[in-house]
Amino acid sequence: MAGRELFVWYRVRRERAHSARAAVVAMQRSLAAARPGLQARLLVRDEGETATWMETYSRLASSVTDGGGIDAETEAAIAAAARPIAALIEGARHVEAFDVVA
């Protein structure tokens, strides 16, 4: 795999976790269905009343000339798809991108 990967973290209160999980999983499935090769995961670190959630996004190369990774168009689509979950999280979504080097 090459290119960029996205890591998006935020906090979710315990009482909203069920609704937030359903919304995030549905969002990630929809994104993956619309964008071949997109791989999305949801990681959770339970910290009591709130938990830190991390969405990860990567994309496999679809051809020899396609280096894979998350391009600007896909990053924008992820951000747009996440707008409805804003009411279910505490604070902002923090987006970080890393280049794959090995």
pLDDT score of 102: 73
Residue 11 contacts residue 91 (beta carbons within 8 Å): yes
- pLDDT for 40-72, tens place per residue? 999 999 989 999 999 999 987 655 555 678 999
pLDDT score of 6: 97
> What six digits make up the tokens of 2?
């090459």
- pLDDT for 12-25, tens place per residue? 999 999 999 999 99
Predicted TM-score (pTM) of the model is 0.89
Indicate the pLDDT class of residue 33, thresholds 50, 70 and 90. very high
In the chain, the percentage of residues whose pLDDT exceeds 70 is 91
d(CA 52, CA 26): 19
Q: Is 1 a residue whose pLDDT tops 50?
A: no
CA distances in angstroms from 66 to 39, 69, 71, listed in the order given: 16, 9, 11
Angle at 54 between CA 1 and CA 29, to 5 degrees: 70
Residue with token string 């959770």 = 44
Q: Is 91 a residue whose pLDDT tops 80?
A: yes
Indicate the pLDDT class of residue 39, thresholds 50, 70 and 90. very high
Class for the domain spanning 4-99? alpha beta
